[in-house]
Chain A
Amino acid sequence: MNSLTVYLFVALLIFCIGMFGLLQRRSLIGMIISIELMLNAAAINFMAFNRFLAPDPSVGQIMVLFIMGIAAAEAAIALSLILALFRKLRSINIEHARDLKG
């Protein structure tokens, strides 16, 4: 509970679960969910280093705030892209989006 390694392992597990989902899902929304998991793993890492190693405990919190802002922007853009793709293809399965395939 009070050691850096525990938090690093939790973040690592979440990151690997997210990576597994990102590689294995075919629904675009499922891939977005996995990306959110991976971003959260990064945020946990920042907070753990901030708590145990960093000289100034405010810097890590500010970094996590920025990660949240970037994640919100990314989710908004990706969801609107999914809506546009769905209107065009009538599907959000990624294997149907192959218009650019040579």
Chain B
Amino acid sequence: MQPVMAQYIRPEVVAYAVFFLVLLLTLGGALVAVIPKSIIHNVFGLATSLVGVAGLFIFLGSEFLAMMEILIYVGAICIAIVFAIMLSQPMHLQIPPRWRPKVAFSFVVSLVVFISFTVMVVRTPWEQAVRTSNDWGVKRLGTLLLTRYELLFELISLVLLVAIIGAVITAATASGEKTSESQGGEEGGA
């Protein structure tokens, strides 16, 4: 099957085509995530861009991180943003027009950042370090996470726990001073 296919379409051509598709997804999604006014279009653009980033991760050699990207970013963060939109944004209200100088200033600032970083990327002589390991597998990742990077691993679990508790308390009680006072101020410190 594969050799017959390879006679007509060379594998490198397919790889390049997929790579440009992934690039298109990533950059187009990023533009859609920023430019349209409708916030729900922005979230769809963000999800598209993140799927493209997952494709880039596959090209960079890590299928595990591509899966994690889709699972965490597309599956959790985008859905959380959609929930926040549904709970907060009055969709029927008219969005006020943009203030043109602000858009122009932000464009100039990001253009300056782009040019300076471009100069830095082009001028730096990147050198490959000596490889001490060539193992991209998940098994080695897990071993490292539980041996050399265990402190970081535990810290990030702690950060996530604190973030979840803090998010619940903030969203549950910070509904203005009246309600927190009428509750007896038991969670007023939050």
Chain B residues closer than 8 Å to A88, beta-carbon distance: 174-176
Number of B residues near A (Cβ < 8 Å) is 87
| B34 interface contact, C-beta 8 A | yes
Instruction: Identify 26 residue pairs between A and B in the complex whose beta-carbon atoms are under 8 Å apart, listed by A's number.
Output: A10-B27, A12-B121, A15-B117, A21-B33, A24-B103, A37-B46, A37-B49, A47-B57, A53-B129, A56-B132, A58-B133, A64-B57, A66-B152, A68-B68, A69-B156, A69-B159, A71-B77, A72-B160, A73-B163, A76-B163, A80-B166, A80-B171, A84-B175, A87-B174, A87-B176, A92-B89
Contact B87 A61 (CB under 8 A): no
| B144 interface contact, C-beta 8 A | yes
Contact B87 A83 (CB under 8 A): yes
Contact B73 A68 (CB under 8 A): yes
| A70 interface contact, C-beta 8 A | yes
Q: State how many angstroms separate the Cβ of A22 from the closest Cβ of chain B.
A: 8
CA distance A61 to B67 in the complex (A): 12
Binding site for A on B (CB under 8 A): 15-16, 19, 23, 26-27, 30-31, 33-35, 39, 42-43, 46, 49-50, 53, 56-57, 59-62, 64-65, 68-69, 72-73, 76-77, 80-81, 83-85, 87-89, 96, 98, 102-103, 105-107, 109-111, 113-114, 117-118, 121-122, 126-136, 140-141, 144-145, 149, 152, 156, 159-160, 162-164, 166-168, 170-171, 174-176
Contact of A76 among B65, B103, B167 (CB under 8 A): B167
Contact A33 B46 (CB under 8 A): yes
CA distance A54 to B113 in the complex (A): 26
Contact B43 A33 (CB under 8 A): yes
Contact B33 A55 (CB under 8 A): no
Chain A residues closer than 8 Å to B39, beta-carbon distance: 27, 29-30
Contact B76 A40 (CB under 8 A): no
Chain B residues closer than 8 Å to A1, beta-carbon distance: 15-16, 19, 59
A23 — nearest CB in chain B belongs to which residue? B106
Contact A12 B50 (CB under 8 A): no
Q: State how many angstroms separate the Cβ of B126 from the closest Cβ of chain A.
A: 6
Contact A57 B133 (CB under 8 A): yes
CA distance A27 to B60 in the complex (A): 34
Chain A residues closer than 8 Å to B15, beta-carbon distance: 1
CA distance A16 to B114 in the complex (A): 6
Chain B residues closer than 8 Å to A4, beta-carbon distance: 126
Within 8 A of B (CB), among A11-28: 12-21, 23-27
Contact of A93 among B57, B96, B107, B127 (CB under 8 A): B96
Contact B65 A61 (CB under 8 A): yes
Chain A residues closer than 8 Å to B19, beta-carbon distance: 1
